[in-house]
Amino acid sequence: MDPGLTLLEHLAAALARIFRMPCQIRPEVMDIAFARDEGRKQCHSTAILQRLERNANPDVRVLGVTAVDLYVPVLTFVFGEAQLEGNCAVVSTARLKDEHYGLPPREDVLRERLIKEAAHELGHTFGLRHCPDWRCVMASSYGVEILDVKGSDFCSACKRPIAENAYW
In 3-state terms the chain splits into helix, strand, coil percentages (rounded to 5) of 40, 10, 45
- Give the CB-side neighbour count of residue 73, counting CA atoms within 13 A: 3
164 is catalytic: no
Catalytic site residue from 9, 28, 121, 164: 121
Distance CA 45, CA 81 (A): 6
Quick one: which of 6, 125, 123 has its CA closest to 56? Answer: 125
**Exposed e or buried b per residue across 54-64, where buried means at least 16 C-beta atoms within 10 angstroms of its C-beta:** eeeeeeebbbb
Catalytic residue numbers read 121
